[in-house]
């Protein structure tokens, strides 16, 4: 398996879990995502985008990363271009670091939807901010090793059918969930979390490293 970490422009904190997830991976930065390379102690092999959001005062090793420059008027976001570059280099697994938050809600939504689409096409995908992470849910069964009490939600990108959730505070048994329903928001792990999905598009959003309340 060839794992690439894609550095996106959303929120990111460094955690021991994130360090383990990106360890040994190849790295590509998308425009402002190069700033996360400094946080994580990584040096990308490629930096792509239109370079309209380059952080100031980059150290020499990051400023000299090979660039692939695109015009500002283009049909793909910088993040999607970075993902495409990774797939061209043989990526079979992607860690999308900085996939949540940031200044652009439209980009954050795209990362979630794109993660689901890539998973459907056979690429393993993890979306993360260090504090929270997303895993696309495909029809079938999936098991997760989150600690007891970990907060999670299931985000539906369509109507869902045959959804079963075990190992959680709130159990579901082969239920149908309408698109836009809040039924699967704010659950908590209680045991070994298992999710089975009959049909639909969804993403598990978990909070394995909760931040202190502000």
| Selected residue with higher pLDDT from 73 and 7 | 7
Q: Is the Cα dihedral 9, 14, 19, 21 positive or negative?
A: negative
Q: Shortest CA distance to 187 belongs to which of 133, 134, 151, 143?
A: 151
Asked if 128 contacts 97 with a C-beta cutoff of 8 angstroms, the reply is: yes
- Enumerate the β-bridge partners of residue 175: 163
In the chain, beta strands by DSSP E:
3-7, 26-30, 46-49, 67-69, 93-97, 124-128, 133-137, 140-144, 151-156, 160-168, 172-177, 187-197, 202-207
pLDDT band at 213 (very low <50, low <70, confident <90, very high): low
Task: Kindly report the pTM of this predicted structure.
Answer: 0.92
| Selected residue with higher pLDDT from 155 and 50 | 155
**pLDDT reported for residue 161:** 98
- pLDDT higher than threshold 70 for residue 7: yes
Read off the DSSP letter of residue 33: G
**pLDDT reported for residue 214:** 41
Q: Mean pLDDT in the chain?
A: 92
| Residue 23: count of CB within 10 angstroms of its CB | 10
**pLDDT reported for residue 212:** 62
Taken in order of first residue, the domains within the chain and their CATH numbers are 3-130 (3.40.50.10240), 136-207 (2.60.120.320)
The residues, any chain, with a CB within 8 Å of residue 64's CB and separated by 6 or more, are: none
Residue 121 burial (C-beta neighbours within 10 Å; 0-12, 13-18, 19+): exposed
Least confident of 73-77, 113-117, 122-126, 195-199: 73-77
Joined tokens for residue 149: 């009490």
Alpha-carbon distance values, 126 to 129, 132, 172, 177, 182 (Å): 10, 10, 24, 24, 23
How do residues 48-105 score in pLDDT, each as one tens digit? 988 877 777 888 888 889 999 888 777 888 999 999 999 999 999 999 999 998 777 8
Helix, strand, coil percent content, the chain, rounded in steps of 5: 20, 35, 40
pLDDT band at 186 (very low <50, low <70, confident <90, very high): very high
Joined tokens for residue 2: 């060839």
């Amino acid at each position: 398996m060839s794992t690439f970490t894609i550095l996106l422009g959303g929120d990111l904190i460094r955690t021991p879990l994130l360090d383990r997830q990106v360890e040994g991976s190849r790295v590509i930065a998308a425009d402002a995502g190069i700033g996360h390379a400094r946080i994580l102690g990584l040096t990308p092999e490629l930096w792509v985008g239109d370079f309209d959001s380059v952080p100031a005062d980059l150290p020499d090793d990051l400023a000299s990363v090979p660039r692939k420059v695109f015009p500002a008027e283009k049909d793909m976001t910088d993040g999607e271009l970075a993902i495409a570059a990774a797939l061209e280099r043989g990526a079979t697994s992607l860690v999308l670091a900085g996939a949540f938050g940031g200044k652009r809600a439209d980009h954050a939504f795209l990362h979630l939807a794109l993660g689901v689409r890539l998973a459907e096409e056979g690429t393993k995908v993890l979306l993360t901010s260090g504090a929270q992470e997303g895993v696309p849910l495909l029809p079938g069964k999936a098991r997760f090793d989150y600690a007891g009490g970990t907060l999670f939600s299931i985000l539906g990108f369509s109507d869902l059918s045959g959804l079963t959730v075990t190992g959680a505070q709130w159990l579901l048994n082969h239920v149908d969930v309408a698109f836009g329903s809040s039924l699967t928001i704010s659950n908590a792990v209680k045991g070994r979390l298992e999710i089975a999905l009959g049909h639909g598009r969804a993403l598990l959003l978990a909070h394995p490293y909760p931040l202190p309340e502000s």
